[in-house]
Structures are given as C-alpha cells and as structure tokens.
Amino acid sequence: MDSIVSVFGSYVDWDVKSLLLFTAVFILTADYIKTRQPDSFPPGPRTFPIVGNILNVDFTRTHEILTQFVGRYGDVFSLRIGQTWMVVLNGFEVLKEALVNQGDSLEDRPYIPLVEDVSHGRGLIFSNGNTWKQQRRFAFSTLKYFGFGKKSLEPIILDEFAYCAKVFKSYKGKPFNPHLIINNTVSNIICYLVFGHRFEYSDEKFVKLMKWFGKGLEIEVSIWAQLYNSFPLLMRRLPGPHQTAKHIWNSTNDFIREEIKEHRQNWDPSDQRDYIDCYLNEIQMRNGQGGNAFDEENLVMCVMDLFVSGSETTSTTLRWAFLYMAKYPEIQAKVQAEIDRVIGQSRQPSMEDRANLPYTDAVLHEIQRFGNVIPLSLPRVTDRDIQLGGYTIPKGVLIIPNLTSVLFDKNEWETPDTFNPGQFLNKEGKFVKRAAFIPFSTGKRACLGESLAKMHLFIFFTSFMQHFTFSMPAGVKPVMDFHFGITLAPREYEICATSR
C-alpha cells in the first residue's frame, strides 16, 4: 500500500512539474509569437519576456536614457514596454521626415489604457479620426474668435501680470516659491478664454488643482504608468500612484462639470461669452446629425485638455526662466538693458516690440530650448506600414518623437549643451529663427496653442524683466535638476524678486 501511495505521489509531483514547465514554455512562446517583428524592424536593446524593456529604462529621466541609446542603436530604434512595441525617433532630419513628410501616416494617437480610462477617446489631445478633426477645428476657430494669438488678448495678459506682480512685490525681495503663483497666473489666461473669468490666487479649490497638475503629468510617464499600460486588467485593481493620477484627472473633470453647469444656468445662445458657451451652442445646433462628435462629455475633455496643456507648459517655462536669469545675472542684466532702451519703464510691453528686442527674444528661445519642457512630445501611432531610416515600421506601432534629441542635436546647434542665447542671433545681433527649434513639436499634431504660448511667454517674460531682478537667496546656488513627466519641470525652489 505504501509503495502505491509513493508511486502515485511521485506521479502527481511529476505531473505538477510538467504542468508548470508546459505553462512556462507556452507563455514564453506566446509572448515571442505575439511580439516578434520583421527583420527590417529598427534595432534596440534586448527585450525580456513579458516585461520587455521596462527594466532597461530609468523612468525618472527617460529622455536622457533614450538619447543615450542613439549612440548604440542609431537615430531610429525600438523598445518594448510590456507587450507594446515603440519606435523612438531622434534628430531633426528624422523627425522632419516622419512628422512632416510622412505626417499623414502618423496622425493618430495610440491606445494608452491609463489615458483611455479617463478620456474614453474624447477631447483634443488623445482623440482620433473624425472626433479629433472636428474638435480641433472647432477649438481653433472658437478660441481665435476670442482673441487666441491676437493683439486683442494682450490687455488680458498684461492685467493678469499686474495681479502677479503685486503678489511678487508683497515679498519685498525675500525668498518665496513662485510655483503656484505662476501656475495660477498663466492658467487665468486660458480660464478667461474657456470659462469667461479668472480665479483669485486665494481660491482654495483652484489652487488645489494647480498643485495636482504637475503631479498628474509626472505620474503619467512613471514606472507605475508603464505597468498600468502594460497590464491594465491587473493594475486597475491594485493601489498605487496610477490610481492617484486617475483621481486627479477625474477631480479636474468634476471641477469642469461644475463650470459647465453654471454656464447652462445662465446660457444665452445670442450672447456667447467664451468657449463653453460656443460649445453648448454647437451641441444644440448639431443635435441629431450623423457623425456628430459634440456632446457634453466631449466638452468636458476638450476643456480639460485646453486647461492643462494651456497652463502647465507655459508656467513651467517661466519657472525655468527665473532660474536661468538667477544663474546667469550678466544675461539678465543685458535683457533688462535692452528692454529699458526699447520700452523703458513708462509703458507696458507689446508683441509689436518683439522685432526690436532681438536679444530678449533670443534669451527666451534659449530658455525654451535648454529647459526642454516637453522632452518626448506626445506619442503617435502608425496607421499603415512606413519606411523610415532604412527600416520598416509596421502599422500599429507606437512612435516616440524625442524632442530632446532635436533641441540638443550637435548637427543643428553650435553649443547644444551650453546655455547660449547667441545661437539665435546673427553677426549683426538680429534674431535668427532656427528650423530645429521645435519645442511645440511639428506636423499635424503640433501643439494647438503654440501661438498663444508664444504670446504668453514673450509678454510675461518681458514684463517680469522690466519690473524685477531675480536672484537666489543668500548662500544658495541655483539647482537645475528636474522632475521628469510629460513636462520637464524644475524641482521646487525659492527665489528673490527684487523690484527695479
């Protein structure tokens, strides 16, 4: 009897081992078959089963890691994050060929579970096809009507600067953290266009949103986001920072819904005050039409896209600007001298002054280049097989345009790794536009708000330089380290703004 039990136990033990071995071989084989690519696919680091290259990348400085890979694998290389293949594009010529010359094939955004679970394919940034085209066309024409990128918006920006300057002056040259103040200042411009009003800097609910934005954008490209996007069925059920990101964006949407609710209560189709009013009118006009992508949930996502993208990138650039001016006081002094000579202290700056402020313009462009605020742009996906750099990239592959590699391209810049405004000036000291200056990306998916951002930055930066001198607190040196996210933001710092 004992021998029979022993034989049976050995059989069961061996059967379990066989099952585990078979399962492991099956999973590895299925992973290989599912993720294999043609021989003409771009090269890249060796992938691991199931997780791909998640272990090869430090997601706190992804842009630097990807740029380093160029030396090993070339300007067009591949990575696999979980089950998703992606191709990283590097260098100005490669990005121009892909995003401009073959832009029709790279018009769509990929399916990203963490984004999709919030947006559901709606909005301006991660929608595709007819929805994206309708929303982008409507947003551009509507915001343009309300002064988007036009001279009529200048007084709004200058009025908001006056509010901000008052807060800066209240510190009387003592150290303070400009982060939330600048976020609020910049956001109020897009709030004027979208909501029809600004928010006080003391508004607790609004300040809370400002605090959340940077955190949300940081989590979106963290290791937690990569795990979520690779294994969504599992990660949806697990706690972690990925759940925090979803909470941030859902709370932002709730905030927007309250604004829409207030608009509906006071809505008069004959008196359209802002983007929301116009959108509500569009919903009513298109009701019942085939192929209609206008509804209230799409309005919520479009407003969030405008709200976040229209504030976070510009405010982050200005925060870098304060740091660079404190780090390079001789450059700051030269900017101030040019502003004093052209504008003086008796009037406010205008976009018309730009042509007469070449050095100031060059410094602002160098801040954007060196600050590298959107280091990896936003991803695209191929909608057909394409040829690029001698390789075949199949349909459905995620594309990462590495803007870092362009803004620091040694073939395009005289001193790519040095802060040097002279790269935007000719021998006569006149401003020179550089083709490789693409901080807003390029092609059909280039930033919708580029013209507004340029106006924001020029008027705000010039106004700050006209009224303040920025320096670090006594005994403190500028720290140029960053928080990596969708935006590349400086670490929290305190600065002194001394009235001139």
- Could you tell me which CATH number the domain at 37-499 has? 1.10.630.10
Longest dimension (CA), the chain: 106
Which 3 state secondary structure label does DSSP give 152? Answer: helix
Consecutive 10-residue averages of pLDDT for the chain (500 residues): 53 60 57 66 90 90 95 95 93 95 94 94 93 92 76 90 97 96 94 92 88 88 92 93 94 93 86 90 83 89 90 94 98 98 94 96 98 95 94 95 96 95 96 94 87 92 98 94 94 96
Entry field: residues in the chain: 500
pLDDT value of residue 30 = 55
Nearest-angstrom CA–CA distance, 129 and 223: 29
Closest alpha carbon to 206 in 184, 225, 185, 190? 184
Nearest-angstrom CA–CA distance, 225 and 242: 6
pLDDT value of residue 268 = 80
pLDDT value of residue 8 = 46
Contact 180, 165 (CB under 8 A): no
Nearest-angstrom CA–CA distance, 327 and 479: 9
- Phi-psi map region of 295: left, alpha, beta (phi>0 left; psi -120 to 50 alpha): beta
pLDDT value of residue 150 = 63
Closest alpha carbon to 59 in 223, 226, 235? 223
Nearest-angstrom CA–CA distance, 105 and 103: 5
Strand 76-81 and strand 84-89: the pairing is antiparallel
Nearest-angstrom CA–CA distance, 330 and 365: 17
pTM: 0.91
Place of tokens 């609910």: 205
Phi and psi angles of residue 391, each rounded to the nearest 5 degrees, phi first = -115, 160
Nearest-angstrom CA–CA distance, 70 and 91: 9
CB atoms within 10 A of CB 281: 17
DSSP summary character for residue 390: T
Nearest-angstrom CA–CA distance, 90 and 99: 12
pLDDT value of residue 18 = 67
Closest alpha carbon to 381 in 403, 366, 354, 401? 401
End-to-end CA distance of the chain: 99
Tokens of 378: 């936003």
Strands of 41-111, DSSP E:
76-81, 84-89
